């Protein structure tokens, strides 16, 4: 555990066994924070003896210690200044928790990949110049280690001299050693073209080396081949030219240009095939943080998109460092380990109805973050589809209240960012006997108006309530959130909805649990006129968040699994597994770039290779009608 616990073991003889155990639990959390680079810690404990034990133990000066501060309280005046900073330890009754507040944003960690001639080298240079991250490529590392004559460099040299590939374990050791140097830790890093295989990727994962984002430059094969075949080398200066895209400055240079041996069409195609196979092998490791960038554009345009992506990541890190708090119960300290990303996994006990407040808030936050990412990426026509019992008004009318709470959370968050949000509910549709609205929406507008929108005066200024229609679009509105818009028998909401989105223009419109399928018209037959256009319009909204629980056919119990997608990541299929009485977990079965069909879900649960020709069968075949 390092110096923190070693120090405590030397000083714990003055404490009772109970205090020693509690202090060790706290120190494990502090050690974890230290390892994660946390710069400020606030530790709340429940008695004076424990506080003194911690203060005495933290007097040791260890390398890269988090900045610790001690704040005296009315119950206990404590003072202790250390070489490594200062510790905030104060007794607090009833709770045994460790509160860790990070005051310094972590640096960016980026991986980038691209085929030969994709422009990766140019983008790496622009990224490192703009963000100050350390550009690291395996080629440079190998050459540096060999040139320096290090032990690992000499091992690599033996393989290179004999014409063999340097083993993964040697390359990975070089990469991790480079990433552990002070400049990479403090400035962040840009790992160029590595890993290239699933084995390399898994090796990095085991060593907890994971980027914030994996950038993939995509360029069509014919363009890449043209870029490579048209390249020319000036042997005198080492400068690279292109016969069409970057011709030499004069005839003298042109006459001495040569084609590099690797720039023949045959060899370029071979290298492209190798690259594609490499990328395919690591997709599963980085698919959740992978961003594909169109590299078939001017370098400045490509960098603008990468720059926007990294700036958003940087901003998120800064916000988390300012306000992010990690509250850890002492019983959870032993179970803590760095996550691959910020998602906490699917909550358990979803079979228990009604859901706890904690579970509902989990989904509120999950939906909110996906919606924010989509809007920040420039998406303007979005929909949220979440089907859990607590958010499914088709099961009980009262559940629309939980859905309204989700809408309130989203609206307040965007209002906090200075956006003017209009929350809209469809009004009465149709005429005569068919006038009315879906039962689930009856009275929702009035309920929304009476909901608690906070004490900051957001309602009526940054948040307003409206109906669905073009006349509800005001110039001052920044975005619109529509609560469960749906067609009813004899009436269709799509006309009003389309008029509203047309009037909204480029402003975001978010549909929360829409039901836009065609239903019987007033004449008792399916509406046919304009049906194709309606379906096309309904499909024009991009899903930014999707969550559906999966059951056996014709049942609502027990839960067999779940399908989840959170923008911009792919669809993930999970299977629910009972571990012991009252214990369960969700295990990922498969990932899909697009929303999977019932057949694909059926195949994944049965462990079969996808056969597009077969009909859906088995206990999961009913999903075909759902998906």
DSSP summary character for residue 235 = T
What span, in angstroms and rounded, lies between the C-alpha atoms of 302 and 225? 19
- Long-range contacts (CB closer than 8 Å, 24 or more residues apart) made by 63-69: 63/3, 64/34, 64/37, 65/34, 66/30, 66/33, 66/34, 66/38, 66/39, 66/40, 66/41, 67/39, 67/40, 67/41, 67/103, 68/40, 68/41, 69/40, 69/42
User: How many other C-beta atoms can be found within 10 angstroms of the C-beta atom of residue 204?
Assistant: 21
- Long-range contacts (CB closer than 8 Å, 24 or more residues apart) made by 599-604: 599/624, 601/550, 601/563, 601/573, 601/627, 604/573
For 106-220, where are the alpha helices, taking DSSP H only?
120-131, 138-148, 151-161, 168-179, 182-187, 198-206
- The CA-atom distances, in angstroms, between 514 and each of 382, 384, 403, 480, 517 are 11, 8, 12, 14, 9
Find the catalytic residue in 196, 210, 408, 445: 196
End-to-end CA distance of the chain: 49
What span, in angstroms and rounded, lies between the C-alpha atoms of 333 and 326? 12
Does 373 qualify as catalytic in the annotation? no
What is the DSSP track for 284-347?
A: HHHGGGEEEEE-SS-HHHHHHHHHHHHHHHHHHHHHHHHH-EEEEEGGGGGG----SSS-----
Find the catalytic residue in 11, 28, 120, 178: 120
Closest listed residue to residue 213, CA positions, set 324, 142, 314: 314
What span, in angstroms and rounded, lies between the C-alpha atoms of 28 and 53? 14
Contacts of 395 (CB under 8 A, 6+ apart): 389
Q: How far is CA 289 from the centre of its chain?
A: 6
Label residue 236 exposed, middle or buried (CB < 10 Å: 0-12, 13-18, 19+): exposed
Find the catalytic residue in 260, 276, 299, 325: 260
Closest listed residue to residue 188, CA positions, set 104, 306, 105, 108: 108
Does 372 qualify as catalytic in the annotation? no
Does 271 qualify as catalytic in the annotation? yes
Which residues are catalytic, by number? 120, 196, 231, 260, 271
């Amino acid at each position: 555990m390092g110096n923190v616990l070693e120090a405590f073991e030397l000083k714990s003889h003055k404490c009772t066994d109970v205090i020693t155990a509690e202090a060790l639990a706290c120190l494990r959390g502090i050690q974890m924070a230290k390892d994660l680079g946390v710069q400020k810690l606030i530790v709340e404990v429940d008695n004076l003896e424990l506080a003194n034990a911690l203060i005495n133990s933290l007097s040791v000066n260890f390398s890269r210690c988090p900045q610790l501060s001690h704040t005296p309280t009315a119950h206990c005046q404590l003072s202790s200044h250390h070489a490594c900073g200062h510790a905030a330890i104060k007794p607090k009754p009833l709770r045994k928790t460790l509160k860790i507040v990070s005051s310094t944003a972590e640096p960016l960690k980026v991986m980038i990949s691209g085929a030969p001639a994709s422009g990766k080298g140019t983008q790496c240079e622009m990224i490192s110049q703009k963000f100050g991250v350390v550009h690291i490529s395996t080629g440079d590392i190998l050459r540096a280690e060999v040139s320096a004559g290090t032990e690992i460099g000499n091992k690599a040299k033996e393989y290179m001299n004999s014409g063999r590939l340097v083993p993964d374990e040697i390359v990975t050791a070089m990469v991790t050693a480079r990433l552990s140097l002070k400049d990479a830790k403090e400035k962040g890093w840009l790992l160029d073209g590595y890993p290239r295989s699933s084995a390399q990727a898994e090796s990095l994962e085991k060593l907890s080396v994971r980027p914030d984002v994996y950038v993939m430059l995509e360029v069509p094969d014919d363009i890449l081949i043209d870029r490579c075949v048209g390249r020319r080398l000036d042997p005198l200066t080492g400068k690279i030219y292109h016969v069409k895209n970057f011709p030499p400055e004069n005839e003298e240079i042109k006459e001495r240009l040569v084609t590099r041996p690797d720039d023949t069409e045959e060899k370029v195609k071979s290298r492209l095939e190798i690259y594609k196979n490499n990328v395919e092998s690591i997709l599963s490791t980085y698919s959740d943080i992978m961003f594909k960038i169109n590299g078939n554009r001017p370098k400045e345009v490509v960098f603008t998109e990468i720059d926007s992506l990294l700036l958003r990541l940087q901003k998120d890190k800064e916000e988390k460092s300012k306000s992010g708090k990690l509250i850890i119960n002492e019983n959870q300290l032993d179970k803590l380990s760095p996550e691959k990303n910020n998602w906490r996994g699917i909550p358990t006990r979803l079979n228990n109805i009604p859901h706890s407040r904690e579970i509902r808030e989990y989904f509120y936050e999950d939906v909110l973050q996906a919606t924010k990412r989509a809007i920040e990426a420039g998406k303007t026509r979005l929909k949220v589809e979440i089907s859990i019992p607590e958010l499914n008004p088709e099961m009980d009318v009262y559940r629309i209240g939980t859905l309204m709470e989700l809408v309130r959370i989203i609206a307040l968050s965007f209002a906090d960012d200075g956006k003017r949000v209009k929350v809209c509910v469809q009004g009465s549709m149709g005429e005569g006997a068919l006038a009315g609205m879906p039962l689930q929406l009856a009275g929702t507008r009035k309920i929304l108006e009476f909901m608690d929108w906070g004490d900051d005066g957001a309602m009526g200024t940054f948040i307003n309530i409206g109906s669905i229609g073009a006349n509800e679009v005001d110039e001052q509105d920044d975005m619109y959130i529509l609560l469960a818009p749906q067609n009813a028998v004899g009436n269709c909401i799509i006309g009003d909805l389309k008029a509203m989105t047309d009037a909204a223009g480029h402003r975001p419109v978010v549909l929360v649990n829409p039901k836009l399928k065609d239903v019987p018209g007033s004449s008792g037959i399916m509406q046919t006129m304009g049906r194709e256009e309606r379906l096309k319009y309904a499909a024009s909204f991009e899903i930014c968040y999707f969550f559906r629980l999966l059951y056996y056919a014709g049942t609502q119990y027990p839960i067999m699994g779940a399908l989840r997608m959170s923008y911009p990541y792919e669809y993930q299929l999970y299977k629910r597994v009972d571990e012991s009485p009252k214990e369960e977990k969700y295990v990922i079965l498969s990932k899909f770039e697009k929303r999977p069909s019932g057949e694909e879900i059926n195949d994944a649960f049965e462990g079969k290779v996808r056969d597009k020709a077969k009909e859906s069968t088995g206990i999961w075949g009913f999903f075909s009608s759902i998906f």
